[in-house]
Amino acid sequence: MHARTAAVSLTAAALLGVGALLLPTLRSSATDTGSATVTETVTGSRTVGARATGAPAAAPVVFAHRGASAYAPENTLAAVDRADRLGFDWVENDVQLTRDGVPVVIHDTGLKRTTDVANVFPDRAPWAVKDFTAAEIARLDAGSWFGARYTGTRIPTLTQYLDRIGRNRQKLLLEIKSPELYPGIEKDTLRVLRRAGWLDRDHVRSRLVIQSFSAGSLKKVHQQRPDVTTGLLGTPAIADLPSYAAFTDQINPSYRSIGADYVAAVHALKGAHGKKLRVNTWTVNDAATAAKVDLLGVDGIITSTPDVVREATG
Residues labelled as active-site residues:
65, 107
**In what order do the strands lie in the sheet containing 4-8?**
4-8, 36-42, 25-30
Cα separation of 279 and 252, whole Å? 5
Question: Beta strands 61-65 and 300-303: pairing type?
Answer: parallel
Cα separation of 22 and 205, whole Å? 9
* CB burial readout 184-222, b (16+ within 10 A) else e: ebbebbbebbeebebbeeebbbbbbbbbbebbebbbbbb
Angle at 18 between CA 67 and CA 243, to 5 degrees: 85
- Phi first, then psi, for residue 42 (nearest 5°) are -95, 115
Which residues, listed in sequence order, are joined to residue 30 by a DSSP beta bridge? 36
Handedness of CA 287, 291, 296, 299 (dihedral sign): positive
Residues near 8 by Cβ (< 8 Å), separated by ≥ 6?
40, 41, 42, 43, 58, 59, 314
CB atoms within 10 A of CB 269: 14
Task: Provide the 8-state DSSP code for 157.
Answer: B
Cα separation of 274 and 233, whole Å? 20
Q: How far is CA 188 from the centre of its chain?
A: 19
Cα separation of 187 and 239, whole Å? 31
Which residues, listed in sequence order, are joined to residue 208 by a DSSP beta bridge? 172
